[in-house]
Amino acid sequence: MAPVTPPASQNAFEPFGDQTPGCEPYWYQGYASAYYTASHVEFRRKCRLFVEEELSPNMERWLDRREVYPLDLHAKALARGLPTAGLAQAVQSRYPAEVMPEGGFDPFHELIYLDELAAIGPGGAMGQCGINSMALPPVLFAGSEEVQAEVVDDVIAGRKNISLAISEPSAGSDVAGLRATAVREGDFYRVSGQKKWITGGHIADFLTLAVRTGGSTSGGQGVSLLLVDVKRTPGIEIRKMETQFDTCHGTTFITLDNAMVPAKNLIGQEGQGFMYLLFNFNHERLVISVGSCRFARLCYAEALKYAVRRKTFGKALAEHQMIRWKLGEMLRQIEALHDYNERVAFQYKSGVPDSRLGSQCALLKVMASKTFEYCAREAAQVFGGSSIVREGPGKMVERLYREVRASAIPGGSEEVLLDLAARQAISGAKRQAASSKL
C-alpha cells in the first residue's frame, strides 16, 4: 500500500532554514502558527540574507581583532527593510514608508529580527540596534517635539546611535538607588555622577540619561531623564570595559563631571523619569529573552549534531540514554520559552498596556536566562573537554557559556524580577481577598 501524504496544514508555511528537528523555531519547520503571515515570511528571508551576507563572513574577524562592527551596517539594514531601533509601539511608525512591509511592522517582525541576529551566536554584531530600541522609546513617548527632532530621525536612519544610561556602580537592578545628580542652573542642568555597564556608550552620539533632580537621595521620586549630546557636551569621559563574553559591541563606564546639559533636553516631566523607565523595561526584557532563546537553541543544535557524530564506548553519544535525556530536556525548555516569547509579543500586538505587562515580562526574562544557562551547561557536558577551549568542535558552546551571565543580570537580575512578580501577585491576592469580603 502506497504511503499517504498528509495534507498541508493550515497556517503553515514552506520549511525554511535548518530542518534538523528543533534547530529552528517550529514554524520554520512546517508547523502551523496563528501569529505569522506572508509579511513575516518575507521579512524573515530578508533578515537571514542580511545576516548571511553582512555578518557571518565577518564576525570572527571583528572578534579576533576586538573591533566594533562597522556602524554603517545600520543604514544598510534599513535600506533592506530592517529596523535600526527596534519595533516598540512608539517606534514602529517612525520608519520610512518605503522600507515598511505591507500592513506595517508589528511585534512579531521584531521577534523574527532579534531571533535571526542571534542565530549566528554571541558577539554583539548589530547589538547597538538593540540598545537603540531601549534608549529611544522614552524620547518618543515622553520627549518634546524639539527633543525628538534632535535625535529620532538620525537614529532611525542609521546615522547616529543612542544608549541608555541608568545603572551606576552602586545601583544596578536597584534603579531607585541611583545617585547621579542634575542641578538646575538657569537654562542648564549641571550633571555629575557615574554610570556603569552602559552598553554602546563608546559609540553613542546621545544618551538617555537617568539622573536625580529632586531633593530625595533615594527612591523613585525625583528621578528625571535627560537627552545628552555626548559629542557636544564637555565633562563626559567614557571608558570601554573588558567583559567575560566576546563582543564586537561593548559596554562602558561613564563619568560626568559638571557636564552642562540644556534644560530643554529634559525628557518629559521633571521627577517622572522613574515611571518612564518602568514601562521601558518591559520591552528591554523581551529583547533580551528573544536573543537568549535563540542562544539556548544554538546550544541544543550544536549538542545534537555533535552527539550524532561523536562516538564513545563503541557507540555514538546519541545512543547513550543520558545524552538523549539531556537533549530532550533542553528542547522542552527551549520550545516553552519560544512560546512564552510569542505570547508576550501577542500582548503587545493586541494593545495590552505596559502597565499590565510588568510581571509577565519579568517572568519571561527569568525563564529565558535560566533556560539558556541550563542549555549551555548541558551542551558543555555533551561536548566534554571540547567545550572548555576556544577552538575545535566545541568553540561555539564555549563562547555561548561565557554569554550566560549577560542574559541573567542586565535588564534586571533573576532575583529582583522574581521578587517583582511575587510582590505583584501578593498585592493582587490581597485586593481579591478584600473585595470578596464586601
Closest to 174 (Cα-Cα) out of 218, 217, 224: 218
Give the integer Cα–Cα distance in Å for 344 and 321. Answer: 35
Specify whether the CB–CB gap between 172 and 138 falls below 8 A: no
For the chain, the first-to-last Cα distance in angstroms comes to 69
| Whole-number Å distance between alpha carbons of 329 and 375 | 9
Mean pLDDT across 214-219: 66
pLDDT averaged over every residue in the chain? 93
Q: What is the pLDDT of residue 6?
A: 47
Residue 2 pLDDT:
56
pLDDT, residue 102, reads 86
pLDDT given for residue 171 in this prediction: 80
Residue bearing the bigger pLDDT, 273 or 278: 273
Query: Of 69 and 214, which is predicted with more confidence?
Result: 69
The CA distance from 113 to 128, in Å, is 14
Chain segment 316-351, per-residue pLDDT in tens: 999 999 999 999 999 999 999 999 999 999 999 999
- Please give the grid coordinates belonging to residue 339: 512560546
Helix (H, G, I), strand (E, B) or coil at 253: strand
Over 90: is that where the pLDDT of 273 sits? Answer: yes
Residue 436: other Cβ atoms inside 10 A: 7
**Count of other CB atoms within 10 angstroms of residue 37:** 16
Higher pLDDT, residue 185 or 2: 185
What are the pLDDT digits (tens) for 246-265?
Answer: 899 999 999 999 999 999 99
**DSSP assignment letter at 3:** P
- What share of the chain has pLDDT > 90, as a percent? 86
pLDDT confidence bin for 176, thresholds 50/70/90: confident
Contact 106, 37 (CB under 8 A): no
> What is the predicted pLDDT for the residue at 9?
64
Mean pLDDT, range 60-84, rounded to an integer: 95
Which neighbouring-strand residues pair with 168? 171
The label of the residue with cell 498541508 reads 8
pLDDT band at 227 (very low <50, low <70, confident <90, very high): very high
State mean pLDDT over 137-161. Answer: 95
Instruction: Give me the percent of the chain exceeding a pLDDT of 70.
Output: 96
Least confident of 68-72, 95-99, 340-344, 364-368: 95-99
- What's the rounded mean pLDDT across residues 293-300? 98
- Would you state the pLDDT for residue 125? 95
**Longest distance between any two alpha carbons in the chain, whole Å:** 88
What pLDDT was estimated at residue 216? Answer: 63
Three-state DSSP at 352 gives coil
pLDDT value for 173:
74
Question: Rounded to an integer, what distance in angstroms lies between the CA atom of residue 96 and that of residue 85?
Answer: 13
Around Cβ 356, how many Cβ atoms within 10 Å?
10
- Decide: residue 315, CB within 10 A, 0-12 exposed, 13-18 middle, 19+ buried: exposed
* Residues in contact with 276: Cβ distance below 8 Å, sequence separation at least 6, in sequence order: 138, 141, 142, 225, 267, 268
The pLDDT of residue 4: 45
If you average pLDDT over residues 274-301, what whole number do you get? 94
